Amino acid sequence: MGSTPIMEQKSAKLIIYDDIDEEIPYHVLDNIQENRRFIWWALLFLNGSCLWAYYSCLSAQTYYSARFGNSSFNFAYLTTPVTTWPMFLGTFFQVIFGWDKKLGLWNRVLIGYSLFMLCALAVILQDVFDASPNTGGAIVLVAFGVVGFTNSLTEAAFYALSALFPEAAFTNAIQLGNGTSGIINITFNTLIQLCVGGIQPEPDDTADIQKISFYIFFSVFIVVCFLAVFCFHKLLRIPSVHYLMERNDLETAKRAANRETYPEMWARLMRISRVIILPLTSQFIIYTCSLTAFPGIGISSGNQLAALHNATWGTWYVNGVLLCYNYGDFFGRVLSPKLYPYFSLESCFTWTLLRWGLFVCLLLGLPGDGQNPLFCMGHVYDFNVFWQLFVNFALGLSTGVLSTITFGLGPRLVPQDDRESAGAIMCLGLFLGISTGSTIGWRFGQNHWLGA
């Protein structure tokens, strides 16, 4: 069999060896290679499908502005923390108490996508029955919270599954599914609005256009859920995937038979955490930075820049901010497999700290209604419009590269039998970073810090 990418533990870089992973039989490795293309694309689609739920909550900002503009909710800053904290807490309790292993991957996925579809229906029906802005907003936010919790069943399961494979390429597919979902979701939402209402819809038709676009957008979300369940079922029928899952289940059953106590399980998780502490910390810092800045600061900047010149493009600028970040994130994840030789876990950690400079760069272009002492682009209005989009693209690009490499290498620092747990712990760090960053961003908007 050809050379197989394996993790060299000391240097923490992805390199090529001529031998194979001794922990996995030859026939399983051969079967992985035979089905490599389908497994890779299936993992990409599956993670993209559960991230479709997350991005659907985030992408419809123009609908939220029109529907809930008179409510007490600031959706530009609220959508992300309301979604991500249940995601983190759900994953945390599953890992700490071992519920993820007890429930099993198939049950987690089936329950998860059923909840996704119910949430999508709830979001649509609050509009169909014309609930008041406050009531409708509350229903939408509760649905977003359930979507976040459900991601702890689905997305975390896919990360854990990808960590069972002997090479980082399949974890890269999960990461690329994240970026792919983002760009397709926001691009699709923008195209729906263009097809339904055109570039300059009549003011009297705006509300109807937003409703029709929104219905189409969330209906596609339901279709994606059905396709994901079918795809996952087909993936489980591949012998090598079945072997890896069965082996992991046997390891779980062995621990249960040995009556592993909670202190023993926590000690095992702490041992794994100490081994992967560098990539785990990097994941947390990467997403704390990204979600502190995105999307709230960019959306506020766009609305303020449009208001300064009484421009009508403020709504479209919101889509521009979302597109730039998500396209940057996508390209970062596409490029990352080629960049493994140039990064170690130590250098990734250094870059996660340095990229906080991008957040400062966004603040340099935030007008802040005179409350932002960092604003320095008052005399270069046209450049600032471009600048904010460029920085959001750079923010997404660096997120894609650094998160993919650190997540790809992290679980392969531990033995095969510990990799699912390592993947779950890495996912926990990722979710905590998203939740922390989005909460800081929400506080910026809630308190109008620096005029945000």
pLDDT tens, per residue, the chain with 452 residues: 343 333 333 334 443 333 344 578 888 889 999 999 999 999 999 999 988 888 888 777 777 877 887 777 777 677 888 888 998 999 898 888 877 667 778 888 899 999 999 999 999 999 889 899 899 989 999 999 999 999 888 887 888 788 888 887 888 888 888 878 878 888 888 888 788 766 666 655 566 767 788 888 889 989 999 999 999 999 999 999 999 888 877 877 776 667 778 898 899 999 999 999 999 999 999 999 999 998 888 888 888 888 888 877 777 788 888 889 989 999 998 898 889 889 999 999 999 999 999 999 999 999 988 889 999 988 898 899 999 999 999 999 999 999 999 988 888 899 878 887 898 899 899 989 999 998 998 888 888 898 88
Question: Does the residue 60 lie in any domain?
Answer: yes
* 60 shares a domain with 204: yes
- Structural tokens at position 311: 């421009």
Of 405, 420, 355, 452, nearest to 176 (Cα)?
A: 405
Which CATH number characterizes residue 217's domain? 1.20.1250.20
How many helices and strands (H and E) does the chain possess? 18, 2
**C-beta separation of 139 from 71 below 8 A:** no
Question: Does the residue 163 lie in any domain?
Answer: yes
Question: Does the residue 5 lie in any domain?
Answer: no
* 191 shares a domain with 280: no
* 255 shares a domain with 271: no
**C-beta separation of 301 from 82 below 8 A:** no
Domain boundary among 226, 260, 294: 260
pLDDT of residue 225: 93
* 320 shares a domain with 238: no
Q: What is the pTM of this model?
A: 0.75
Amino acid at 8: E
pLDDT of residue 386: 92
Inter-CA distances, 294 with 88, 266, 272, 440, Å: 18, 34, 31, 11
The structural domain count of the chain equals 2
Rg value, the chain, Cα: 22
**C-beta separation of 136 from 127 below 8 A:** yes
pLDDT of residue 288: 96
Question: Does the residue 89 lie in any domain?
Answer: yes
Domain boundary among 208, 242, 260: 260
* 240 shares a domain with 299: no
Residue 379 burial class via C-beta count within 10 angstroms: exposed 0-12, middle 13-18, buried 19 and up: exposed
Residue 439 CB contacts under 8 Å (≥ 6 apart), including other chains: 81, 85
* 249 shares a domain with 285: no
* 230 shares a domain with 101: yes
* 204 shares a domain with 124: yes
Domain boundary among 195, 227, 260: 260
pLDDT of residue 332: 92
* 356 shares a domain with 237: no
Long-range contacts (CB closer than 8 Å, 24 or more residues apart) made by 124-131: 124/214, 124/215, 124/218, 124/219, 127/67, 127/211, 127/214, 127/215
* Residue 172 Cα to chain centre, angstroms: 13
* 108 shares a domain with 230: yes
Question: Does the residue 325 lie in any domain?
Answer: yes
Question: Does the residue 21 lie in any domain?
Answer: no
Inter-CA distances, 52 with 45, 104, 154, 178, Å: 10, 22, 12, 8
Of 350, 111, 405, 134, nearest to 232 (Cα)?
A: 111
* 197 shares a domain with 51: yes
Neighbouring C-beta atoms of residue 343, cutoff 10 Å: 20
- Structural tokens at position 162: 């990808």
Of 353, 451, 349, nearest to 410 (Cα)?
A: 349
Question: Does the residue 118 lie in any domain?
Answer: yes
Residue in this structure with the two tokens 């609908």, named with its chain if needed: 63
Neighbouring C-beta atoms of residue 2, cutoff 10 Å: 7
* 419 shares a domain with 298: yes
Q: What is the DSSP letter of 370?
A: G
Q: In whole angstroms, what is the distance from residue 48 CA to residue 333 CA?
A: 13
pLDDT of residue 206: 62
Residue 130's domain comprises 27-260
Q: In whole angstroms, what is the distance from residue 375 CA to residue 142 CA?
A: 36
End-to-end Cα distance, the chain: 56
